[in-house]
Chains A and B, each alone.
Chain A
Amino acid sequence: MSRRSGIVMALVFAFSVVGLDWSLGVAPDPYRSPDPMAYGSKSGASGAICTFAPGAEQ
């Protein structure tokens, strides 16, 4: 078995995550999409970020 099998597994994992989400959740709505770039627009960051600490003083 070559390392390419591992790459295929990783890609299957990534597409499975998207597929599972699509089957369970809501499909994206392009009409509600933010501006292409946050910089210079009014639609800024989503706020869903690794450093987000709900409950702590922000």
Chain B
Amino acid sequence: MVIRTLLITGLLLTLAVSAGVRFSLLLALGLLIGFSLERFGFGFAGPWRRLIRERNAQGFVAQLVAIGLTAVAIQPIIAFAPGTLIGAIAPVSLTMVAAAFVFGLSMQMILGCGSGTLVNAGSGNAIALTALPLFCIGSFLGTLLVPFAIEATPHIPISLTESFGVGGGVTVTLFGLVGVGFLASWYSAGSLWNKKLLIAGVILSALAILHVLVAGQPWGVVYGLGLWVAKAAQGFGWDAASAQFWIHPINAQALQSSILTDTTSLTSLGLIGGAALAAWKDSSVQPFKQPIAAWYFAVAALFGLLLGISSRLAFGCNVGALFSGIASGSLHGWLWLIAGFAGSIVGVKWRDQLWRRASEGLS
């Protein structure tokens, strides 16, 4: 434990000196988020699966609490610092909704969402390790498709804060979350409250608020993954000037800069590291490979790819669009929730069928 603490401290100090204090703080936040998610067993795909299959809404309710607490803090903070702090506001469109549906389906197939795939990979999960590289490639491919999607269908960003004012935006967000909570409680077959998950939700909310204060923007995951592959593709001769997404000054700047100065890259790397730290102690007595047929890993790779493509077309995953979008007062976060949950219902059924076949005769 002492050695790990010294290593992490050294890593953060090195980053602070070589890149800047803000970037070191962002990596630290990523590490804390990854550690908390893994240690508390808090996630997004798993709780949705338990709600759909077992009518257990505890994890889902903890998510709503976390989003609500974050919304109460960040909507006013962002509104009172225009030009400095930005919210996770994205357009709503047909392609965005369809992509959120595909993401919801895909995250059930590999039991890992945007943050979940990184955390699961960091904790040594073989399926997540298979899906992660394809998730990154998919995120890059998605950036190439985004301009076509935007040209093909109307994309309209709707901010609740701009529509109703700060107080109105927060109120509408909280009413929406309470409404969804009532629906979940109506469907739930047991208690709604789980102390451990609620504590995790409060911690996640605090870290998400700190993320806004440090980075100036809400927590996200997939942008960084696509950026890594775009940089690698450049190394292999790909011309970024040929891609409409990457010639935009913000993205072109990100391509020319170190990933150690990119917000989502740092927190995503931190998620992997934090989960690794949390899982390290018990990992030596746990088996690496799950008792399933090899072909399921090809399925995981395919849905990892779809996870990446769909998250770009949906303007975020469960973190950037669902968590940060709703907390920022973006209507697209709400549509993401509905479409993603519908996709998850299909994904849970497909995953059960395929998993049963993949496990037959092997367990």
Chain A positions within 8 Å of B, measured between CB atoms, are: 1-11, 13-14, 17-18, 20-22, 24-28, 30, 33-39, 41-58
Give how many A-B residue pairs fall within 8 Å (CB-CB). Answer: 248
With beta carbons under 8 angstroms apart, the residue of B122, B216, B227, B245 that contacts A10 is B122
Pairs of residues from A and B, 7 with the lowest C-beta to C-beta distance, nearest first: A33-B20, A6-B124, A38-B216, A50-B320, A45-B216, A44-B84, A50-B220
With beta carbons under 8 angstroms apart, the residue of A26, A28, A53 that contacts B315 is A53
Chain A residue nearest to B81 in the complex (CB): A39
| B85 with A28: CB separation less than 8 A | no
Task: Compute how far the CA of A17 lies from the CA of B218 in the bound complex, rounded to whole angstroms.
Answer: 23
Query: Which residues of the other chain, B, contact A8 by a CB distance below 8 angstroms?
Result: 124
* B351 close to A (CB within 8 Å): no
Shortest CB–CB separation between residue B55 and chain A, in angstroms?
A: 31
Count contacts on B: residues with CB < 8 A to the other chain: 93
| B19 with A49: CB separation less than 8 A | no
* B256 close to A (CB within 8 Å): yes
Query: Which residues of the other chain, B, contact A25 by a CB distance below 8 angstroms?
Result: 231, 256-259
| A46 with B250: CB separation less than 8 A | yes
Within 8 A of A (CB), among B116-146: 121-126, 129, 132-133, 146
Shortest CB–CB separation between residue B362 and chain A, in angstroms?
A: 16
With beta carbons under 8 angstroms apart, the residue of B20, B133, B213, B258 that contacts A34 is B20
Task: Compute how far the CA of A50 lies from the CA of B254 in the bound complex, rounded to whole angstroms.
Answer: 13
- A28 in contact with B258 given A36-B22, A54-B248 (CB within 8 Å): yes
| B91 with A53: CB separation less than 8 A | yes
- A14 in contact with B272 given A5-B124, A27-B258, A38-B214 (CB within 8 Å): yes
- A44 in contact with B272 given A7-B122, A50-B88, A54-B251 (CB within 8 Å): no
- A47 in contact with B262 given A3-B283, A4-B283 (CB within 8 Å): no
- A57 in contact with B121 given A37-B22, A45-B84 (CB within 8 Å): no
Query: Which residues of the other chain, B, contact A35 by a CB distance below 8 angstroms?
Result: 22
Task: Compute how far the CA of A2 lies from the CA of B126 in the bound complex, rounded to whole angstroms.
Answer: 11
Task: Compute how far the CA of A46 lies from the CA of B133 in the bound complex, rounded to whole angstroms.
Answer: 25
| B84 with A4: CB separation less than 8 A | no
Query: Which residues of the other chain, A, contact B262 by a CB distance below 8 angstroms?
Result: 46, 48
Chain B residue nearest to A1 in the complex (CB): B288
- A57 in contact with B250 given A6-B288, A39-B77, A51-B315 (CB within 8 Å): no
